[in-house]
Amino acid sequence: MSKELTLTVISPDKILYQGKAESVILPGSVGYFGILPGHATLVSQLDFGLIKLHTAGKEFRIAIDGGFCEVRNDQIRVLTEGGDSEDDLSHDHAIELLQEAEALPTSKEKENLLKKAKVRILLHER
């Protein structure tokens, strides 16, 4: 059994992460769930939230806007509609995104933009 996972996170615009991890926590559509090496094959829908991966004793986080994941043979592939890493977006910019979303009239788009902004704010909180 391998002691590492290979994680690839892809959005339509870019590859958000590609590398090794000791463990990964994903935002499933019914709650967060963890993946360790040797995990059973799995396909799951993902919700807005943070992917948390642990490698070399450090935690790295990626905000995603939903999508799907596949786990197979210690490889995790995540396809997401959009996302940012901690380095992609400042906390101040995340606050601006929230304020812009709050100013919109009530709609499904506003709801999704609010979720997106709130996840980006969480990206910077420890």
Q: Is the pLDDT of residue 31 over 80?
A: yes
1 — pLDDT class (breaks 50, 70, 90): low
93-119 burial, b at 16+ Cβ within 10 Å, e below that, comes to ebeebbeebeeeeeeeeeeebbbbbbb
26 — pLDDT class (breaks 50, 70, 90): very high
Distance CA 97, CA 5 (A): 33
What pTM was estimated for this model as a whole?
A: 0.91
Distance CA 12, CA 89 (A): 18
39-55 burial, b at 16+ Cβ within 10 Å, e below that, comes to beeeebebbbbbbbbeb
Of all residues in the chain, the percent with pLDDT exceeding 90 is: 87
Per-residue confidence (pLDDT) for residue 39, from 0 to 100 = 96
2 — pLDDT class (breaks 50, 70, 90): low
CATH architecture of the domain with range 5-85: Sandwich (2.60)
Higher-confidence position of 25 and 2: 25
87 — pLDDT class (breaks 50, 70, 90): confident
Q: Where are the domains of the chain?
A: 5-85, 91-124
For strands 15-21 and 5-10, give the pairing: antiparallel
Cβ distance 113 to 79 under 8 Å? Answer: no
Of all residues in the chain, the percent with pLDDT exceeding 70 is: 98
Per-residue confidence (pLDDT) for residue 125, from 0 to 100 = 84
